[in-house]
């Protein structure tokens, strides 16, 4: 059973104040040997602690480094620390998210701060910066400041340039997290905020962030940052999730859109965001929304409008695994009960979570993905593979996984997943080709086609369905 980890910028720093020594003296631009010494010092100070005390110590030390050395140096140390410490690696996204939350220096500098983050540990730093942006905006101007113009302008500098597609995704995905601050973790209203985005691909990325935050807030509330006026405590649970055991903690994803919103006009998007009764939500202002239901493995997906379901089921297995104690076969059976159109998304979600449970152990992952309906098992491999590529923005590990698979269907799905994910990473065709050329000979064309290597003209056409696969590490109830 996985250990339960909680991350909270304020709460962890406060806890560590009585546990950890004074901040380390760290160089502004640490060379490799200096980073090694810093990592060793962190392990010496925090490594012998256990559970919450250990997590609090590492988090506090990383935030102390952030103040002294900046975002880039801190992320470098975190990366090396993750290489040296299995538990830190497992929780790397949460530490990176914490760094991004604390790195926010004000709305006028959000672009500069965002650019200092790195993509390690599933780009958690980027998401934290955007989350803090919304917390600050709402704290100073109220939720009415989150208008259609505001949400479309926030990521505007990354829009229109294929070379910035990866960073654009991190921005809109972080927006989904940040909207929780605006709407007090009321999921339908968070999704309505995402609907203010004009582009379908961006809305899907935002939905994924909202669903991820919904799981995190319900299973690991100490990781979330509440609205400034919402009680003050990071562990505050405005949704009143009585069905969630907060003694255990957790953090998951996105996939491909099932509904084409490209034709939906801006006015319609605003109307959808504001009129929740029309979307079937009907929740009056102030009414809490239950995030998860331990007795219904498909909740909340089975209560939402169809346009949200691809993203919802792409996250759902994290909730299922949390409640069933990490039972992968049972989770696969739950996916078999999802609506047929969304079972692929559910299996893809399972593959992503298997990546976290196995700490990217390819042999174990391949075995676990053999659970459930054989017709959908290839999608489990897709989720695992996309997560491998997404972890460090590199296709090498994904291709290595494809090589060990024995089923032809699984291999085709795997290499296609690699190609699709590299399309999001970069618009450099030569880099795509170089990655795909390392695949097994008979599958190179599959990888290259998915990456759009040989597609003439506009490579964007037909590729709006490709999104990275995010995950919070799935935790289980203690």
Going by pLDDT thresholds of 50, 70 and 90, the confidence category of residue 251 is very low
Examine residue 30 and state whether it is found in any structural domain, yes or no: no
What is the spatial distance between Cα 128 and Cα 97, in angstroms, rounded to a whole number?
A: 5
Confidence (pLDDT) at 224? 44
Going by pLDDT thresholds of 50, 70 and 90, the confidence category of residue 300 is very high
What is the spatial distance between Cα 84 and Cα 348, in angstroms, rounded to a whole number?
A: 29
- The H or E element spanning position 138 is helix 120-141
DSSP state of 234: T
Examine residue 270 and state whether it is found in any structural domain, yes or no: yes
> Which residues have C-beta within 8 Å of that of residue 216, sequence separation ≥ 6?
223, 224, 250, 251, 472
Buried/exposed 59-68: b ≥16 CB within 10 Å, e otherwise: bbbbbbbbee
In this structure, what token pair is assigned to residue 5?
A: 């980890």
Confidence (pLDDT) at 411? 97
Q: Is 369 exposed, middle or buried (0-12, 13-18, 19+ CB in 10 A)?
A: buried
Q: What is the mean pLDDT of residues 151-155?
A: 90
174 close to 195: Cβ distance less than 8 angstroms: no
Going by pLDDT thresholds of 50, 70 and 90, the confidence category of residue 455 is low
Q: Out of 101-105, 235-239, 379-383, pick the least confident.
A: 235-239
Per cent of the chain over pLDDT 90 is 47
User: Length of the chain, please?
Assistant: 478
Q: What is the mean pLDDT of residues 263-288?
A: 37
Examine residue 335 and state whether it is found in any structural domain, yes or no: yes
Examine residue 204 and state whether it is found in any structural domain, yes or no: yes
Per cent of the chain over pLDDT 70 is 75
CA 134 to chain centre: 17
**Average pLDDT for the chain:** 78
326 close to 476: Cβ distance less than 8 angstroms: yes
- The H or E element spanning position 301 is none
What is the spatial distance between Cα 201 and Cα 264, in angstroms, rounded to a whole number?
A: 13
Judge whether residue 260 has pLDDT over 70.
Answer: no
Backbone angles phi, psi at 345, to 5 degrees: -65, -40
**Unique residue bearing structure tokens 């009143």:** 240
What is the spatial distance between Cα 407 and Cα 366, in angstroms, rounded to a whole number?
A: 11
Domain tally for the chain? 1
Give per-residue pLDDT as tens, 335-367. 999 999 999 999 999 999 999 899 899 999 999
78 close to 99: Cβ distance less than 8 angstroms: yes
In angstroms, what CA-CA distances link 294 with 57, 138, 219, 339? Answer: 32, 31, 11, 19
In this structure, what token pair is assigned to residue 46?
A: 């925090």
Instruction: Give the domain extent around 101.
Output: 91-451
Backbone angles phi, psi at 265, to 5 degrees: -75, 165
DSSP state of 296: -
Examine residue 359 and state whether it is found in any structural domain, yes or no: yes
| Residue bearing the bigger pLDDT, 331 or 283 | 331
What is the spatial distance between Cα 438 and Cα 9, in angstroms, rounded to a whole number?
A: 41
Confidence (pLDDT) at 31? 61
Examine residue 381 and state whether it is found in any structural domain, yes or no: yes
Examine residue 406 and state whether it is found in any structural domain, yes or no: yes
For residue 290, count other CB atoms closer than 10 A to its CB: 16
Examine residue 25 and state whether it is found in any structural domain, yes or no: no
Going by pLDDT thresholds of 50, 70 and 90, the confidence category of residue 25 is very low
In angstroms, what CA-CA distances link 428 with 308, 414, 453? Answer: 31, 21, 9
Q: What is the mean pLDDT of residues 285-295?
A: 83
- The H or E element spanning position 65 is helix 51-84
> Which residues have C-beta within 8 Å of that of residue 268, sequence separation ≥ 6?
none
């Amino acid at each position: 059973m996985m250990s339960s980890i909680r991350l909270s910028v304020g709460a962890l720093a406060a806890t560590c104040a009585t546990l950890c020594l004074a901040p380390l003296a760290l160089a502004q631009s640490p060379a490799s040997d200096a980073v090694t010494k810093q990592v060793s010092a962190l392990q010496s100070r925090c490594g012998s602690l256990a559970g919450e005390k250990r997590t609090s110590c590492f988090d506090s030390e990383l935030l102390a480094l952030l103040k002294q050395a900046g975002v880039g140096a801190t992320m470098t140390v975190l990366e090396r620390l993750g290489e040296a410490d299995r538990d830190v690696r497992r929780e790397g996204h949460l530490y990176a998210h914490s760094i991004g939350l604390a790195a926010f220096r004000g709305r006028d500098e959000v672009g500069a701060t965002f650019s200092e983050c790195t993509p390690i540990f599933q780009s958690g730093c980027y998401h934290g910066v955007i989350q803090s942006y919304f917390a600050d905006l709402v704290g100073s101007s109220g939720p009415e400041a989150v208008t259609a113009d505001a949400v479309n302008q926030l990521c505007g500098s990354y829009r229109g340039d294929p070379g910035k597609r990866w960073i654009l995704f991190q921005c809109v995905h972080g927006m989904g997290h940040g909207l929780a601050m605006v709407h007090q973790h009321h999921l339908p209203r968070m999704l309505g905020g995402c609907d203010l985005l004009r582009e379908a691909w961006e809305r899907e990325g935002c939905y994924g962030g909202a669903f991820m935050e919904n799981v995190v807030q319900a299973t690991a509330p100490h990781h979330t940052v509440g609205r400034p006026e919402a009680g003050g405590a990071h562990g505050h649970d405005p949704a009143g999730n009585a069905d969630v055991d907060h003694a255990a903690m957790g953090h998951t994803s996105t996939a491909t859109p099932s509904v084409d919103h490209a034709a939906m006009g801006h006015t319609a998007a605003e109307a959808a965001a504001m009129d929740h009764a029309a979307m079937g939500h009907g929740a009056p202002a102030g009414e809490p929304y239950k995030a998860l239901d331990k007795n219904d493995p498909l909740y909340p997906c089975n209560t939402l409008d169809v346009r949200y379901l691809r993203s919802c089921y792409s996250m759902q297995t994290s909730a299922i695994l949390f409640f069933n104690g990490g039972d992968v076969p049972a989770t696969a059976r739950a996916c078999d009960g999802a609506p047929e159109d969304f079972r692929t998304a559910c299996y893809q979600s399972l593959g992503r979570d298997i990546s976290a449970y196995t700490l990217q152990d390819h042999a174990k992952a391949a075995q676990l993905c053999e659970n459930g309906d054989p017709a959908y098992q290839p999608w489990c491999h897709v989720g695992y593979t996309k997560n491998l590529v997404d972890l460090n923005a590199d296709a090498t590990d994904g291709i290595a996984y494809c090589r060990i698979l024995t089923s032809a269907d699984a291999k085709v799905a795997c290499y296609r997943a690699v190609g699709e994910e590299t399309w999001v990473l970069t618009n450099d065709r030569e880099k795509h080709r170089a990655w795909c050329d390392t695949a097994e000979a008979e599958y190179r064309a599959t990888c290259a086609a998915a990456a759009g290597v040989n597609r003439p003209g506009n490579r964007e056409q037909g590729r709006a369905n490709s999104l990275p696969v995010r995950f919070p590490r799935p935790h289980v109830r203690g």
